Chain A
Amino acid sequence: MEASLRAQRTAALLIFAFLSLLAVSSSAAQEIQILNAERRIDLSSQIAIVFLTLKVENTGKAAASEVLLSFPPTEADHLAEVKAQAASGKKRKKTHVPLDVKPTDVPDAPKGAKCFRIALLNPLSPGETSTIEVLYMLTHSMEPFPAEISQSEPQLVYYRDSAYILSPYRIKQQTTFIKTPSTNVLSFSRVEPTNRAGMELKYGPYEDRPAYSFSPVLVHFENNNPFAVVEELVREVEISHWGNLQITEHYTLAHGGAKLKGVFSRVDYQSRPGASGVSSFKNLLARLPARVHSVYYRDEIGNISSSRLRTDSRKSELEIEPRYPLFGGWKSTFVIGYGLPLEDFLFESTDGKRYLNFTFGCPLSGTVVDKLTVKVVLPEGSKDPSAVVPFPVEQHMETKYSYLDVVGRPVLVLEKKNVVPEHNTLFQVYYSFNPVFMLAEPLMLVSTVFFLFAACVAYLHIDVSIRKR
């Protein structure tokens, strides 16, 4: 049943590729061609990391200011991050300049394909060549097969891609290398010339493929790396102008790999750690900023005692163990919270506004976050919050009431789907704040105590009895 489905899908892809070939011939493509393309796909973790080196040449008459990238629809949904940089100079003295990448629509692209536009620094004049390096990451692109395994079995996954690079341009010469985590590769599609050496598969070199060429390949291999997927992460960053930055992170962690079938035996797990439950994981590493304090790690039913914190002057590492080892399909939820000194993260900008400079992504290393929500809780009385994030996110505002609040604290909520460790970059939240508001809460407390005493004094001095004694 499943096999026939897959065959259908493959057929569809082939037709799609054929159609796209047709489409290319008719399109008035930009007059750019790729002289040499090299693609290196690293499948050793749960994230497929792809390095693409393109040597582009402008064959047209006019100068070209941008280069297009395209991804097949199967990859488009899993695409977490696309980065490009221009490389210039020879091997040793290579310099890299990051380039701007923006999603775009190309009218003649095959249906469902997603295109990105790389803006070049200097327009490429006719006849000139330039080298562009592209890095992109795909999450959930490895499909466990068999989908359910028992405790003693290793985890096998499928990876689907195309032997040819899907590109809106003609590619003169291209090669694809796929690096698998182990030498155990059960099967792989052959699109000659195809070679396999140890942990590396080599597709190509292929000469002179037209635009939008596509030839699906399937690699079936063993991948026992932890498929730690944070299904939902809510990070709350609370700024207190009294000197503390409080971070609370709510995790919903799942094992995204092949599901555990049937029995979990503690005997096997404990007595044969190498052979049993190889795809499961029991600890995770959270990289926290330096000078972290009052760290806690708990879930809804109390503290989880299995964690270790190592701190030094530059970074802190929190090693956490969920309550139980996570096998395929198992879930767990927990909360990590910590405080940070405010002076490391809050600054004043030149126009008098304050801004928070903090990392965006998930501190757990090697995890994929399906949905990340960052809530920046600003102090009560802050105005005009605005966020500067290096990638597109959804934003909206909320109000939160906490200790001694009257009007509530403005909360800037940033949401992003499909987050990979590459997104652990700094973002800024600007806001204006009048320091007078800092006095509001102490004054409230003082006045409360004052009125309490005043009420006591009044009570002791007023005779409320109806009948005089």
Chain B
Amino acid sequence: MASPESAVNGPTMTAGAASKSLRNAFGGVIAFIILVLIGVLAFSIRLFSVIKYESVIHEFDPYFNYRVTQFLSKNGIYDFWNWFDDRTWYPLGRVIGGTVYPGLTLTAGTIWKVVNSLNIPLSVETVCVFTAPIFSAFASWAAYLLTKEVKGPGAGLTAAALLAMVPSYISRSVAGSYDNEAVAIFALVFTFYLYIKTLNTGSLFYATLNALAYFYMVCSWGGYTFIINLIPMHVLLCIVTGRYSSRLYIAYAPLVVLGTLLASLVPVVGFNAVLTSEHFASFLVFIIIHVVALAYYIKGILSPKMFKVAVTLVVSAGLAVCCAVIAILIAVVASSPTKGWSGRSLTLLDPTYASKYIPIIASVSEHQPPTWPSYFMDINVLAFLVPAGIIACFMPLTDSSSFVILYIVTSVYFSGVMVRLMLVLAPAACILSGIALSEAFNVLTRSIKFQLPGIAGNPSIASEENGSSTVVAPNDIPKTEEAAKEKPAKKNRKKEKENVEKKPTPSKTEKRLLVLPLEASVIAVLLLVLLGAFYVVHCVWAAAEAYSAPSIVLTSHSNDGGLHVFDDFREAYSWLSHNTDVDDKVASWWDYGYQTTAMANRTVLVDNNTWNNTHIATVGTAMSSPEKQAWEIFHSLDVKYVLVVFGGVVGYPSDDINKFLWMVRIGGGVFPHIKEPDYLRDGQYRIDAQATPTMLNCLMYKLSYFRFVETDGKGFDRVRRTEIGKKHFKLTHFEEVFTTHHWMVRIYKLKPQRNRIRGKTKKSKSSRSVSSKRDVRGKRNPWH
């Protein structure tokens, strides 16, 4: 791992040696080639899904993004901004242009446009499928740049290689996983890089670029609030620890001004960029940094005595102003019901918030806190290397390394709240592990080089030479300072070993202290290589086995090794798209909303953009009501088809029956006549003979198990591993119109309203009075 210096900005320390500059150039070329290879690795490790399955969009949200991209590529950017989508959230509709983070869509749309204007006939789908792998290559290059700014190119290359294949990131960016995070991680790391770069150089050019990168991040992902809170935190940290400099000011002030202006250009953010609490930290720090800057300026022009007087003046006046500002802020914040925070942000700050107040956020599996095995699964050995990286960052602590430390600490916290935010942790873990590995190799290879017989003849000179050429190049901090700070720490850690070791190099005792015993170094290097190999094996396994399934196609291996494909979802969507009227409304649980609009092109009531809780609760209520009430609700919403996902025949566990309790909970949250205990027998959720009558008569049960008993004669549910409670029943208000090959998707049609028969007016009158009574008792059908 003897990493060469980059030729691009490697310091020209000894100008004399022509061979050295040649070696530098050579090192630069090697670094470049390694980076290209890392990019290829990042791209190709994500292609398992295409090779094992097919080139197809994955899961749920990507289908929506794909559909938006299709619209964009077909109708152009202006229609996209003004797009009111009437195919979803019927009858409310959704303003797509103003409620979507457009970064990913615009990126893929631009790629598609460029490629097609070059007469390369790639379909929108192909571009969308491969956007994520391409951007993960970019992300690893961004990680290289960031780590290079922190600890030099060697650490950079290591971090890039680690990030290229970190499972956590792979899980969100395999080919076909066309989601915001795919682009956003690149934007995140790149923004951080530009921030660090500005901090190190103090260049306004990079500061502007930084604001633009931040703008791209705002376009791409709601996680931009992480940036706009982390950077102020770091600035505050720098100020508090006395690291204020003009570079810090240039890195921060333009970012806040330009970044906020640019962020408010994004329709989905708009005035939120100045109104919501997520952004207040940045403004507060913006004020603080100006106060500090002013203080430093005044300190510069005044004599110490005058300065003291000024300080007292300013502090008293400043306190008054601050109090006023804070009071106003608190008043503004307190006036809004959620204290100015969005539900998801509150969930982050208070991990129990969602489960208490917003079941719809809590019902999503990726919003649950992760378990320890998932840390090991997602970042693997990096979890052990990160502490070492943090230690390495403290030797010496610079502006940039303190930023990295802050980054890892905060992201560890966030990943602990939501498993989805493991994704933010992954780049930080990679960067720190890259630093740790690189530093370790640095020390170990140097001590091996010292003691190798070939160079041992003149170790002091060799050390000097090798130290400068093979050791990772230091950044702007003077080398001597770094070495000086490095030595004591190393000494403390390896004291015993050094006591054992008595090397015959009397000259340059300082250098000798760094040297570890040859055998120990060799073994340590081998162990580290082994660790890396383990990591690579794990990553490849995770990419190939764990994270490559597109989830709309399921496969299983039969006993003779053959592959059995369960393609029921697309079967159903394809059936819907070809054999129903184009304006028919399809009701299903919100999980399948995006897929239905994208694949079947039919109007849905609710989808994965869970913006209207009431509407989702209505569907949940319908699903948990008896047939007649459900029919009334659906009929009042113009629904023609109801789609349920049922895994009981083939044992597909994430079906609607298993999600049913969430429907009850969300429905009951808005319509109180749906009560969760009605569906539970002694607190247990069951569908067998012990189940409650409410459960056995609700629409979801009936639609799932209609004529199920005829498949095997007993009605044995393979997911719940039990026989169903109610086996023989008829549907009165719905009729089965389609069931897929493995029964995984069942589509029912609402029966038309019965003709009114003249002779029965009397009876209908009496029933009407009954129904009106019902209305008085509670909100049965919210749409009547």
Contacts and interface: CB of A to CB of B under 8 A. Distances in A.
Contact of A264 (B119, B739, B741): B739
A323 interface: yes
A421 to B, nearest CB: 24
Interface string A262-291: 111111001100000000000000000000
B511 interface: no
Contacts of A304: 567
A332 B552 CA distance: 19
A303 interface: yes
B739 A401 contact: no
Contacts of B737: 262-264
B387 to A, nearest CB: 42
A333 B739 CA distance: 19
Interface string B715-759: 000000000000000000001111111010000000000000000
Given A324-B738, A330-B579, A331-B579, A401 B571 contact: no
A453 to B, nearest CB: 14
A108 interface: no
B493 interface: no
A262 B735 contact: yes
B119 A323 contact: no
A256 to B, nearest CB: 14
A303 B710 contact: no
Interface in B99-131: 119-121
Interface string B765-782: 000000000000000000
B698 to A, nearest CB: 22
B56 interface: yes
Contacts of B356: none
Interface string A398-414: 00011111100000000
Interface string A295-314: 00001011111100000000
Contacts of B565: 305-306
A403 B574 contact: no
A307 to B, nearest CB: 11
B710 A267 contact: yes
Interface in B568-596: 570-571, 573-575, 578-579
Of the candidates A262, A270, A302, A329, the one having the most CB atoms from chain B within 10 angstroms of its own CB is A302
Interface residues of A, number: 28
Contacts of A306: 565, 567
A405 B118 CA distance: 8
Interface in A437-469: none
Secondary structure dominating the interface of B: mixed
A401 to B, nearest CB: 4
B738 A323 contact: no
Contacts of A299: 574
Interface string A314-331: 000000000110000111
Contacts of B552: 302
A457 B674 CA distance: 73
Contact of A323 (B575, B707, B736): B575
B711 interface: yes
Contacts of B567: 304-306, 323
B501 interface: no
B579 A301 contact: no
B545 interface: no
A402 B119 contact: yes
B119 A404 contact: yes
Nearest to B710: A267
B54 interface: yes
B578 A330 contact: yes
Given A267-B710, A305-B567, A324-B571, A401 B119 contact: yes
B738 A402 contact: no
Contacts of A305: 553, 565, 567
A377 B734 CA distance: 50
Nearest to B746: A266
A301 B119 contact: no
B599 interface: yes
B573 A324 contact: no
B710 A264 contact: no
30 contacts: A263-B735, A263-B736, A264-B736, A265-B739, A266-B738, A266-B739, A266-B741, A266-B743, A267-B710, A267-B739, A271-B710, A271-B711, A301-B570, A301-B573, A301-B574, A302-B56, A302-B553, A304-B567, A323-B571, A324-B575, A324-B738, A324-B740, A329-B579, A331-B579, A332-B578, A333-B578, A401-B121, A402-B119, A403-B119, A406-B119
* 5 smallest beta-carbon distances between A and B, as pairs: A266-B739, A302-B56, A305-B565, A303-B54, A331-B578
Interface of A: 262-267, 270-271, 299, 301-306, 323-324, 329-333, 401-406
Interface of B: 54, 56, 119-121, 552-553, 565, 567, 570-571, 573-575, 578-579, 599, 707, 710-711, 735-741, 743
Given A305-B565, A324-B574, A401-B121, 20 more contacts: A262-B735, A262-B737, A263-B735, A263-B736, A264-B737, A266-B738, A266-B740, A270-B711, A299-B574, A301-B599, A302-B553, A303-B54, A303-B56, A305-B567, A324-B740, A331-B579, A332-B574, A401-B119, A402-B119, A404-B119
